[in-house]
Structure 1
Amino acid sequence: MTRHPYLSRSTPRVLAHRGLVTPDAATQGVVENSFAAVAEAHAAGADYVESDCHLTADGEVVLFHDDDLQRVAGDPRAIADVRLHEIEELMAERGGLVTLAQALEAFPEVRFNLDVKAAAAAAEVGRLVAPHTERVLITSFSDERRLDTLAATRAAGATTRPATSPGSGTIARLLAARALRRTGRVRGILDDIDALQIPERQGPIRVVSRGLIRDAHAAGVEVHVWTVNDEDDMSRLLDLGVDGLVTDRADVALALVNRRGTASV
């Protein structure tokens, strides 16, 4: 399997989860998925920023995790019911709203890991990332939504697809196939997948294991684990062989990766 350009940089990868909000930035009111958070991740040296996509009432794709504005801005309205300028006003003192189009233009060196949160956003996300497929990974908890977004990139004229990580349904099938020792089925499930982006555990179920990492690597697929904020956990997972850490503390993870790299020279 040919490695996607999105994954051409060396491992381990640090994916800044919703950008980077340091403790100091948080005291100044900066929130996740804001322009300031993406800029801070970039400034800290993160090559990868993980974010989320919703569609506003007037059809703009914004980087925002929740379905509504309650947790971040104290406003109960759904993103889908609010126009762009209204969210911009709410985010003005929280680090600034960033649309997907703005993020791709303002940070041309950043590789974006985009979780498509709303079905209505799939077509527009696909259109926007079509000129940037070499530096975008598309994922979603919904495989249907993920595949719709990939199809939209092709419809928009992209000659290559973005990188992609599977949804929860595909992950469940993969774990079942591994439990049944169906090696061929595991390989088939991983076909056209570039990275498994998974939690270490899902409730009582262990998801990440040395065997899973081995099977993924045999299929040319990377393993990225979310969301890892403790430095000891970061070290343990890297020792286990994972390829990427999705973390709220990209600054801590980058420092750790740099120390490990220096120590191995």
Structure 2
Amino acid sequence: MSDFSAVTSAYKGAWARRRVFVPIYIAVRLLLVALVAPGVAITVNLAVSLSNQTALTDQAIAAFILSPVGFVAAIAVLSLFLLAEVFVFSVMAGSLRMGESDPWRAGSSAIGLILSRLPALFGFAVRFVLRVLVLILPFAAVSAVIAWWTLTEYDINYYLTFHPPSFWIAVVLIGAVILVMAWVLIRRLSAWALGLHLVLFEGVHPAHAFNISATRMEGKRGRLKIELAIWLILRVIIAGLIAWVAGLLFAIVPLQGASHLRLALVYSLLVAGVWSVAGLVLAATALGALAVLLDGFFEIRTEEPPHPEPGSLRIPLFAILGAAAVAVLVGLWFGQHLLERIQAPDRAEVIGHRGAAALRPENTMASVLKAIEDGADWVEIDVQESADGEVIVAHDSDFMKLAGVNLKVWDATMEDIAQIDIGSWFGPEYADERTPTLREVLEAAKGKSKVIIELKYYGHDVDLENRVAVIVEELQMQDDIATMSLKYPAVQKMKKLRPDWRAGVLAATAVGDLTGLEGDFIAVNAAMATPGLVRSVHDAGKDIYVWTVNDPLQMSAMASMGVDGLITDRPAMANEVLRLRAEMGPAERLLLWLATTFGMSVDTQAMRDESP
């Protein structure tokens, strides 16, 4: 049998057992939440307990992971997640080897076997993570050196925006390193392919499973590598076909411009639901096919340890009816709270991100004035110190992205800044735009819009907090500004300097209880926002802002959650979304919320405002 035939036969075999594999896949995935969540929670609590904070945000998380304790904790978490994957695959492999056709009997016996081997499986997962890390770390180090050599002369945003030659050099070199790493990993993984089977079906100690597997795979590794490559290619092709069909169905009734919004949304949600189910079935079938492939390489050479015999899990009718009744009650309770949230009046404020950055060059007076014109409640800007002590509005560490000028902000004088055109990259009509000062922005916004000042730190600040405070007080705008920063100690310092001013924590990632951090508000990446987080922040008496929200569906979803502020590059669009939501009934709002839950979005790249 050819390698391709072997793989297609494995997929056919998995599909033939879909009545077993799909229910098992779903059930075990749900079970894993209960297994993994406590371990992750313990690790998070450990990380937070070692600090003097209730939560860790971006920089603090990185510092923790790089510490000895953090590294061990990270290994433990990775092992838990790998154990989850091992658990799913083990149940598939166990049910396959036991030959049961009934999903309840196959699943129960396989899960019983896996639970009896759980300590050994966790030991296997830990060793597997460590072995893979040992293989990856040298390549990661080489990649880091390449990135440092090619991508550190200028601010990273310049490289990500314009892709200069050095960017492509880094891509090619790091890509070559990744290919070599992949080759090494495939060689080792093919040698370890039977390790899990040995632990599971022969009771081999995890410490010996890798070497025994390598011995048994001698002469077979080449065939396995080819079959694994074909297996992966087929999985990607099938997933691509499913996505292509779903895209065609979505395109029939596009959300944007549809004359009947409700009909368009219902149709789109049905398509999204079918797409999700198809993806779930594919994942279960592909994993089952992998189990079939590897099972073909495994022959038990010792007496198989006893394991639970397949048993009956026939559930009494009254238990099913009771579970259904509980589900209905929970659904009604959840639905009532959901409708209450959806019917609640929107109180989200519109915050112009770097002004109106989708419509005008970011952090310029043109962008600030456009945000004010478009009705932004707040204008958000970034500030740093120039070489001569002026507080200027700038996000990056240098002027490469905005002007192609190799000059660090902290080395630039106001005379230098006056010569740097930061608008032409966006459009020739903005050639006169120069980096504004904090004072100029505050004077323009006074009486028209409030201003959120993000304090930026690149390790060269001198007295940023005090200089900002002096300018704000000179203009008597204490009640019209707020400060925030990714650097939590800076938030604490600002609260200490001016306790009565609004100050907030900016977080792209976080672990722990954000609500326990000092500050009047939390500004989080929209991907972090959940109804539970919003509720806990409000219960703590704080506000929650989300960034950067430019899609109208996502804006609506965030408003449904009850966030207090939408940080957006398109303040006019945000205001329009909130206006339209005020005219909608709960059904339309619910559909909009569900649409975003299914990952739907509206392409806004071509929606640049053409007004002068």
Same fold (TM over 0.5): yes
Q: How far, CA to CA, are the matches of 1:217 and 1:127 in structure 2? A: 31
Would you say 1:18 and 2:339 are equivalent positions?
Answer: no
Would you say 1:46 and 2:376 are equivalent positions?
Answer: yes
Q: How far, CA to CA, are the matches of 2:496 and 2:390 in structure 1? A: 19
Shift of 1:95: 2.8
Task: Give the secondary-structure state (helix, strand or coil) at the position aligned to 1:52.
Answer: strand
Query: Partner letter of residue 69 of structure 1?
Result: F
Q: How far, CA to CA, are the matches of 2:506 and 2:557 in structure 1? A: 25
Shift of 1:85: 2.5
Would you say 1:225 and 2:540 are equivalent positions?
Answer: no
Aligned residue in 1 for 2:472: 129
Shift of 1:68: 0.7
Q: How far, CA to CA, are the matches of 2:543 and 2:558 in structure 1? A: 13
Query: Partner letter of residue 552 of structure 2?
Result: E
Task: Give the secondary-structure state (helix, strand or coil) at the position aligned to 1:197.
Answer: strand
Shift of 1:147: 2.8
Q: How far, CA to CA, are the matches of 1:94 and 1:148 in structure 2? A: 36
Task: Say if 1:122 and 1:146, in contact at 8 Å, map to a contact too.
Answer: no
Would you say 1:58 and 2:403 are equivalent positions?
Answer: no
Shift of 1:97: 2.5
Q: How far, CA to CA, are the matches of 2:534 and 2:358 in structure 1? A: 31
Would you say 1:143 and 2:485 are equivalent positions?
Answer: no
Q: How far, CA to CA, are the matches of 1:86 and 1:142 in structure 2? A: 28
Matches within 5 A, 1:58-207: 58-91=388-421, 93=431, 95-109=433-447, 110-118=449-457, 119-120=461-462, 121-130=464-473, 131-152=476-497, 154=498, 161-168=500-507, 172=510, 175-177=511-513, 186=515, 189-190=516-517, 192-201=518-527, 207=528
TM-score (norm 1): 0.77
Task: Say if 1:16 and 1:48, in contact at 8 Å, map to a contact too.
Answer: yes
Q: Quick one: structure 1 residues 105 and 79, their matched pair in 2 at CA, closer, same or farther if it must change by over 3 Å?
A: same
Gap runs ≥5 in structure 1 = 1-9, 26-30, 155-159, 179-185, 202-206
Task: Give the secondary-structure state (helix, strand or coil) at the position aligned to 2:402.
Answer: helix
Shift of 1:164: 1.2
Q: How far, CA to CA, are the matches of 2:495 and 2:472 in structure 1? A: 10
The CA deviation string for residues 210-234 of structure 1, in whole angstroms up to 9 with x for no partner, is 1111111112211110011111111
Task: Say if 1:135 and 1:162, in contact at 8 Å, map to a contact too.
Answer: no
Greater CA drift, 49-58 or 240-249: 240-249
Q: How far, CA to CA, are the matches of 1:127 and 1:99 in structure 2? A: 13
Matches within 5 A, 1:27-38: 31-38=361-368
Q: How far, CA to CA, are the matches of 2:561 and 2:410 in structure 1? A: 41
Query: Partner letter of residue 144 of structure 1?
Result: P
Matched pairs, number:
225
TM-score (norm 2): 0.35
Which is bigger in relative contact order (C-alpha 8 A, separation at least 6)? 1
Shift of 1:167: 4.6
Q: How far, CA to CA, are the matches of 2:432 and 2:545 in structure 1? A: 29
Runs of 4+ that moved beyond 4 A = none
Q: Quick one: structure 1 residues 249 and 168, their matched pair in 2 at CA, closer, same or farther if it must change by over 3 Å?
A: closer
Task: Say if 1:231 and 1:252, in contact at 8 Å, map to a contact too.
Answer: yes
**In proportion to residue count, which structure has more helix?**
2
Q: Quick one: structure 1 residues 116 and 42, their matched pair in 2 at CA, closer, same or farther if it must change by over 3 Å?
A: same
Task: Say if 2:383 and 2:453, in contact at 8 Å, map to a contact too.
Answer: yes
Query: Partner letter of residue 125 of structure 1?
Result: V
Aligned residue in 1 for 2:126: none
Query: Partner letter of residue 128 of structure 1?
Result: I
Task: Say if 2:507 and 2:523, in contact at 8 Å, map to a contact too.
Answer: no
Task: Give the secondary-structure state (helix, strand or coil) at the position aligned to 2:396.
Answer: coil
Aligned residue in 2 for 1:249: 570
Task: Say if 2:350 and 2:568, in contact at 8 Å, map to a contact too.
Answer: yes
The CA deviation string for residues 49-100 of structure 1, in whole angstroms up to 9 with x for no partner, is 0110011111111111111111011112111000112212213725333211
Q: How far, CA to CA, are the matches of 1:15 and 1:208 in structure 2? A: 17
**In proportion to residue count, which structure has more strand?**
1
Task: Say if 1:50 and 1:113, in contact at 8 Å, map to a contact too.
Answer: yes
Root mean square deviation, CA, Å:
2.3
Aligned residue in 2 for 1:215: 536
Larger radius of gyration: 2
